[in-house]
Chain A
Amino acid sequence: MALQSLDIKARSATTTPSPSARGEAVKVAKLIDISKCIGCKACQVACMEWNDLRDEVGDNFGVYDNPRDLTDQSWTLMRFSEVEVQAGKLEWLIRKDGCMHCADPGCLKACPSPGAIVQYANGIVDFHQENCIGCGYCITGCPFDIPRISKKDSKVYKCTLCSDRVAVGMAPACVKTCPTGAIVFGSKEDMIHHAEGRIADLKERGYQNAGLYDPAGVGGTHVMYVLQHADQPEIYAGLPKDPSISPMVALWKGITKPLASFGLGLAVLAGFFHYMTAGPNEVEDDEEEHTS
């Protein structure tokens, strides 16, 4: 198995350096070409099937999006938007939402629990739920609003980029299943090259602002989009234009880490006993509102 402790590049709340004996790994990436996406949701089904997840059977609430939102059981989701960028020309933009696997992952930076979030040398950001304390800070730290906490076990879940498949040399389940090849997978370099070809094709078809979404604010991502209207990512169900890591996380890195290194006092033990007896903290609504 290729991905193991030796392949960890970064580990949440860990001050010791990561192993570095192995040379540079190939950085992987998933490229989602929205202009080829037919919104069939095969990726959603393949994801739940491979990862042994089954969400609730919900209800239609007036749109095609189902389930209604990402959950601990739904790690990816199609978001449908009916827009008219050019008056009178309807476009049905369908964006596969899910973890972007940031090169500079806000979730990992925000996570206070050692080893609950790791980043592998190939770029995959993975959650290790056995280490998750359910504090929800990764949710705050994520500029894309991706991780979801489970009501059942109070742990946080998200797309693993099928790290188990990638580890044995296979493409993620969503990539393999995609009927139109709207989702492709390979080295990040190859994916950028593939995107260039797609963008040229889109420009030839009249999409002058077609472009690649690989936002620099998070160090680039290992899940990228080809957008017909790269100048307006927001029209794709609120894809952030310039995502960056929340100042909350900067604060944690800047202030609380030094505090933590010195703090072996009663407050700490109190906090620990609180966790052991009352369970993890829930992320509360007011907090989410203020941090969004």
Chain B
Amino acid sequence: MTNHWVDIKNADFILIMGGNAAEAHPCGFKWVTEAKAQRKARLAVVDPRFTRSAAVADFYAPIRPGSDIAFLGGVINYLLANDRVHHEYVKHYTNATYLVREDYGFEDGIFSGYDAGSRKYDRESWNYQIGADGYVMVDETMQNPRCVYQMMKQHYARYTPEMVERVCGTPKDAFLKVAEMIGATAAPDKVMTIMYALGWTQHTVGSQNIRAMAMIQLLLGNIGRAGGGVNALRGHANVQGITDMCLYSDVLPGYLGAPTDADTTREDYLAKRSLKPLRPNQMSYWQNFPKFHTSLMKSFYGKAATAENGFRYDWLPKKDAPYDVLHIFELMHQGKMNGFICQGFNPLAAVSCVKKVRESLAKLKYLVVIDPLATETSEFWQDYGEYNESDPAKVATEVFRLPSTCFAEETGSFTNSGRVLQWHWAAADPPGEAKGDLEIVGTLFYRLRELYQKEGGTFPDPVLNLDWSYAIPQVPQPEEVAREFNGKAIADVTDPKDPAKVLAKAGEQLATFGHLRDDGSTSSGNWLYCGAWSQAGNLMARRDTADPSGLGFYPNWGFSWPANRRILYNRANADPSGKPWDPKRKTIAWDGSKWSGYDVPDMRPDAAPEENVGPFIMHPDGVAHLFALKGLSDGPFPEHYEPFETPLAANPMHPKNPLALQNPAARIFKGDQADLGKADKYPYVATTYRLTEHQHYWTKNVLSNAIVQPSQFVELDEDLAKQKGIASGDLVKVSSQRGYVRGTAVVTRRLKPLQVDGKKVHTVGIPIHWGFVGVAKQGFLANRLTPYVGDANSQTPEYKAFLVNIEKA
């Protein structure tokens, strides 16, 4: 979230689309009801289903799964055509005035630079025109046809309300009603917020769904404002924290791009990521990359990392391939992996296409599952009849199952969706012999290191030299680890403007990432978390309930990254002269000598408005990107493409170009292409989702949740039910090209057939949550149905739109 949970109460209008906050985040949704009750805010829900969020909305509009960009593109067109634009914001805080290269183009659904053979774009042309001074060329009048504003206008002119109805199935008047509600917040004293979740990410166009919304919020001037922002409602308690710690291949802690084979030297690697300003006076904060990276290397390798040895850049593994979870299981399926460790992760249930995941796991030599609960993954080899057909005798994988603690038995921090780090304390001992994750990881590493010390082995250096100065090496304590990722001064850190002034003495915890250095004099395991455990102590454990602004910042509750800032890009809450757009919702303002107010300024504190330092300080140009440049792999403007399984024969936006039917840059593995179904055999659109009574696949192990939502069901509309002779309560079978599930039919008016491109399209709803292990009634893993294809950028699987058939079981 750019903003945070309580801030939703400051919104005038709330859009829930690509998510279902009332069901998936009920206690966060409370702030929607507060905005409604206290500010008379309006709530609109756009969703394929009339959800429990829709039940309390002021307006609901249906949409076909997988057509969100058509809808949002329609909104962009509506805003531009009807002048619902916050002009001053757009002109100063976005790249609307910047000129795009002449060789950038878009034709019949394909952007310039496409190579059909590799299904990849050469993104070189998706860039600005650079002037002789080395800076981007701009046209303040925004009349130049190559300026972003005009390019955007042209791109979205095709997204008419009629086209929206044709692609999305949303009745035109319903679409216009939502567009009108959104458009009203272009006024400087009106703010809207968007709450989305996996309903947008789990598509082959997932990242572009979110970009489209970000563009809308920028056109309306709603980013950086209290009550505004683009708010991803994340699914797990610490999904934000684990993402920040970067437990994935692409990046190192703090979103530091991980080195690849192309980064042959440390110098090149750092230079490539230390982005220089593209406009005068811009902060281009990634210029500090070397400080963050060097401090990370000091945390990893301690004394072994020195300036002389390049801080052991050579020890860092370089990646040669994406290694996202779909790629990992593809490698496993090809027999290229031997071992696999699942730490609190149940891939058999969570990764798309059970069949492929089960076959892959059976090819491993060893599998280690660390979890507080018995999971399907740990029992993938076991025969559970129809729910999991397996012949254990034929599965050679050795499986270790290690019991870990749950939240109630451990101490440590979680980062919530609003980026607030909060400390929690153990309340009881774990059951039986269960151990904490830190002890499990710590002891395992300790044993490995012992083996390397004793026996030697392949390249033992990083294993032997990994900094492991924990008091009890087998059981690192959460406090020790938290202090480590915060970082400390190894030598005295002095003020660059006044070397006599010591900012942090050697050995002290650092207060801010502003004190990190690239010479080895500081360590920090995650620069974004620097300040969370400073010399002042554990700021994550703070519990001050004071809220001086009344806007819900609670500045001394926990610690919000970065730098305890509660709203990102908050410089944009004020006009170019530094005066808040809406004085009633002021977060920070220019007071004549510095930025001050209720929040930590997202700006150099002494950057006077006349300096024109842009509010989007991480970008080299200081502004937000309506045109995404080379940021995404599948286009600088979001474009509608059909899901990989679509009920339509052609993309209604590009009926004559089969290449533009689906996202042309999305990756699909060879074998999985054959596993895609067609509309003749699987005529109905299916979408998977969570129910409020359950959390993924955990709570089927929880009796009270099993009682309130006990057994598997699927939802369908009355029209389809009649056609198929299905009544509520009947057992039905839903099948895709990849498998089937059975459940009780819930026939409902909350789903309605939609007219899409002249065709009646029915949507079948597939709640997840059931499996073959648990105290709820046994059921089928919903991902037996889903395709093995992901978003072109994030590789998040396309769970939200695929094809099925349904029949009475």
Chain A residues with a Cβ under 8 A of chain B: 35-42, 44-45, 48-49, 54-64, 66-67, 74, 82, 84, 90-94, 179-182, 198, 201, 204-205
Asked if B217 is at the interface (CB within 8 A of a chain A CB), the reply is: no
Q: Which residue of B lies closest to A74 (CB)?
A: B707
Distance between Cα atoms of A179 and B711 in the complex (Å): 24
Tell me the B residues contacting A by CB distance below 8 Å.
22-23, 26-27, 29-30, 33-34, 36-37, 40, 50, 52-56, 58, 60, 692-693, 703-713, 727-730, 743-750, 775-777
**A42-B713 Cα distance, complex, nearest whole Å:** 20
Q: How far is the CA of A177 from the CA of B56 in the complex (A)?
A: 18
CB <8 Å contact, A60 and B692:
no
**Which one of B52, B712, B776 contacts A40 once the chains associate, using CB atoms below 8 Å?**
B52
* Contact partners of B53 in chain A: CB under 8 A: 38
Q: Which of B26, B50, B707 is in CB contact (< 8 Å) with A38?
A: B26
**Told that A39-B52, A205-B58 touch, could you supply 7 new A-B pairs with CB distance under 8 A?**
A40-B22, A41-B693, A62-B713, A62-B727, A64-B746, A180-B30, A181-B30
Which of B52, B60, B744 has a CB less than 8 Å from the CB of A60? Answer: B744
For A74, the chain B residues whose CB sits under 8 A away are 707
- Cα distance A219–B709 in the bound complex, in angstroms: 36
Cα(A36)–Cα(B386), bound, Å: 41
> A61, B707: Cβ atoms under 8 Å?
no
Establish whether residues A61 and B23, one from each chain, have CB atoms under 8 Å apart when the complex forms: no
Q: Say yes or no: A44 contacts B52, CB within 8 Å.
A: no
Q: B744: which A residues are within 8 A, CB to CB?
A: 59-62
| Inter-chain contact A90/B704, CB cutoff 8 Å | no
A45 in contact with B708 given A60-B746, A62-B729, A92-B50 (CB within 8 Å): yes
The distance in angstroms between the C-alpha atoms of A172 and B306, with both chains bound, is 61
A38-B693 CB under 8 A given contacts A57-B710, A59-B711, A59-B744 = no
Can you name the residue of chain A whose Cβ is closest to the Cβ of B776?
A: A57
Report Cα–Cα, A92/B748, bound state, in Å: 11
Q: Let me know if B56 and A82 touch, CB within 8 A.
A: no
Bound Cα distance from A45 to B694, whole angstroms:
12
Determine which residue in A54, A93, A179, A182 has the highest number of CB atoms from chain B within 10 A of its CB, and name it: A179
Closest to B727 in A: A62
Nearest-CB distance from A13 to chain B (Å)? 34
CB-CB under 8 A for A90 and B50, given A41-B708, A55-B707: yes
A42 and B26 contacting across the interface, CB-CB below 8 Å: yes
Say whether B33 contacts A36, CB under 8 Å. Answer: yes
Q: Which of A39, A62, A92 contacts B745 (CB 8 A)?
A: A62
**Given contacts A38-B53, A180-B56, A90 and B750 within 8 Å (CB-CB):** yes
Chain A residue contacts of B26, Cβ below 8 A: 38, 40, 42, 179-180
Contact B710 A63 (CB under 8 A): no
Chain A residues near B40 (CB-CB < 8 A) = 201, 204
B779 to chain A, nearest CB (A): 10
CB of A38 within 8 A of CB of B52, answer yes
Candidates A40, A57, A59, A204; contact of B23 at CB < 8 Å:
A40
Chain A residues whose C-beta falls within 8 Å of the C-beta of B707 in the assembled complex: 48, 54-58, 66-67, 74
Some 29 contacts from A to B, beta carbons below 8 A apart, are A38-B26, A38-B53, A38-B692, A39-B52, A40-B693, A41-B708, A48-B707, A54-B703, A54-B704, A57-B703, A57-B707, A57-B776, A58-B710, A59-B711, A59-B744, A59-B777, A60-B710, A61-B729, A63-B746, A74-B707, A84-B749, A90-B750, A92-B52, A92-B54, A179-B26, A179-B27, A181-B30, A181-B34, A182-B33
CB distance from A34 to the nearest CB of B (A): 9
Expressed in whole angstroms, the minimum distance between the Cβ of B379 and any Cβ of chain A is: 20
Q: Which of A36, A40, A92 contacts B692 (CB 8 A)?
A: A40
Residue of B nearest to A204 (CB): B40
- B52 with A180: CB separation less than 8 A: no
A202 to chain B, nearest CB (A): 10
Point out which of B53, B704, B745 has the most chain A C-beta atoms below 10 A from its C-beta.
B704
Contact A66 B709 (CB under 8 A): yes
One of B29, B706, B743 near A57 (C-beta < 8 A):
B706
Name the CB-closest residue of A to B775: A57
Q: Which residues of A contact B34 (CB under 8 A)?
A: 181
CB within 8 A of A179: which of B30, B55, B706, B710? B30
Distance in Å: Cβ of B508 to nearest Cβ of chain A: 42
- The complex places the Cα of A205 from the Cα of B40 at a distance, in Å, of 9
Separation of A205 and B743 alpha carbons in the complex (Å): 38
In chain B, what residue has the closest Cβ to A59?
B711
**Chain A: CB-nearest residue to B26:** A179
- State A55–B703 Cα separation when bound (angstroms): 9
B749: chain A residues within 8 A (beta carbon): 82, 84, 90
Partner of A91, one of B52, B55, B727: B55
Max chain A CB contacts within 10 Å: which of B36, B55, B747? B55
Q: Which residues of chain B have C-beta atoms less than 8 A from A198's C-beta?
A: 37
Residue in B29, B54, B713 whose beta carbon sits within 8 Å of that of A180 in the complex: B29
B750 lies within 8 A of A92 (CB):
yes
Closest CB pairs A-B (n = 3): A62-B728, A62-B729, A179-B26
The answer on a CB contact under 8 Å between A41 and B692 is yes
- Known contacts: A59-B777, A179-B29. The answer to whether A94 contacts B708 by CB under 8 A is no
Chain B residue at smallest Cβ distance from A180: B33
